[in-house]
Chains A and B, each alone.
Chain A
């Protein structure tokens, strides 16, 4: 059933336009890379602060409060541009291992963020200003960095393995 849906997607005007145009796909990739750059860079800054780096002189709450709007805006752009890239060859992407790994790792990033938000962050008032936050927060920061690195790696791998 999913395959039928993907085949139907492939027939849409937008899909045909992207697949046939010589410049639409590269420009979508440019937008995707720029958006991902902002997502990663802003997340890494917060993660590195969470891991206990003294090089970022800010409360964790104010750092994330100021950076997260940027992260979310860029993430929205990355999802939309990514959806259009996917649209160019839905069946092939869906069957690609690297693509599936990337989606799975995105899910893991969301899960890590959820745990941080619901469990670890609850006591943040106490350690907000500490140079070295508690173990749970440090682990969440390190996990986040590793997960996002895998997302980029899997994403780049798609381009080399897509049939």
Chain B
């Protein structure tokens, strides 16, 4: 089924347009990297703030809500630029094991992100220590897991270009 989809995408007008215009692929990759910068940094800051790295002045309850908006926008841009890159080279991406691993990890990251934000949304803007210990530990675990997922996703993403099969 993936093979058929790849063949179909390969035959679209958009795919041939992308093959013929030199700058579209590097430009799309640039946009993709800029969006990764936003999403990844937001998750680094969020994970660190669950450990109190930024001090009491930056309760993660408040920052989590701010960073969520950044992350959601970033992921939106990643999706669009990602779809464009897949259309440009469908067989090299869709049928690539690294790409498939990346997509599975992405689903895991999004599920963890949703769970973390559910916890954060329920918090008030009070100091870190006013949050129950169990919630603090859980948000730390979720924050670190999300970070690990993004690192794995970026690694798999870069390896798509090198892995054959």
Question: Is B159 at the interface (CB under 8 A from chain A)?
Answer: yes
- Of all chain B residues, the one with the shortest Cβ separation from A149 is B34
Give Cα A41 to B40, complex, Å: 8
Question: Is A55 at the interface (CB under 8 A from chain B)?
Answer: yes
B61 to chain A, nearest CB (A): 13
Question: Is B37 at the interface (CB under 8 A from chain A)?
Answer: yes
- Of all chain B residues, the one with the shortest Cβ separation from A66 is B54
Question: Is A38 at the interface (CB under 8 A from chain B)?
Answer: yes
- Asked if A56 and B66 make an inter-chain contact with CB atoms under 8 angstroms apart, the answer reads yes
- Asked if A40 and B26 make an inter-chain contact with CB atoms under 8 angstroms apart, the answer reads no
A6 to chain B, nearest CB (A): 25
Given contact pairs A26-B158, A38-B40, A66 touches B34 in the complex (Cβ within 8 A) = no
Question: Is B83 at the interface (CB under 8 A from chain A)?
Answer: no
Given contact pairs A30-B154, A33-B154, A41 touches B33 in the complex (Cβ within 8 A) = no
Question: Is B80 at the interface (CB under 8 A from chain A)?
Answer: no
State which residues 121-163 of A face B: CB under 8 Å.
149, 152-153, 156-157, 159-160
Give Cα A58 to B22, complex, Å: 42
> A-B contact count, CB below 8 Å?
82
Question: Is B38 at the interface (CB under 8 A from chain A)?
Answer: yes
Across-interface contacts of A26 in B (CB, < 8 A) = 158-159, 161-162
Give Cα A57 to B34, complex, Å: 23
Which has the most chain B C-beta neighbours within 10 Å: A22, A34, A56, A159? A34
Q: Mark B128-164, 1 if CB is under 8 A from A, else 0.
A: 0000000000000000000000010011001101100
Across-interface contacts of B37 in A (CB, < 8 A) = 36-41, 44, 152
Q: Mark B77-97, 1 if CB is under 8 A from A, else 0.
A: 000000000000000000000
A156 to chain B, nearest CB (A): 5
- Asked if A40 and B41 make an inter-chain contact with CB atoms under 8 angstroms apart, the answer reads yes
Question: Is A45 at the interface (CB under 8 A from chain B)?
Answer: yes
- Asked if B66 and A152 make an inter-chain contact with CB atoms under 8 angstroms apart, the answer reads no
- Asked if B155 and A30 make an inter-chain contact with CB atoms under 8 angstroms apart, the answer reads yes
Give Cα A48 to B108, complex, Å: 30
Q: Which residues of A contact B (CB under 8 A)?
A: 22-23, 26, 29-30, 33-34, 36-42, 44-45, 55-58, 62, 66-67, 70, 149, 152-153, 156-157, 159-160
Shortest 4 CB-CB distances between A and B: which pairs?
A41-B41, A40-B37, A37-B40, A37-B37
5 further A-B contacts with Cβ under 8 Å, apart from A40-B34, A41-B42, are: A37-B33, A37-B41, A37-B154, A45-B45, A66-B55
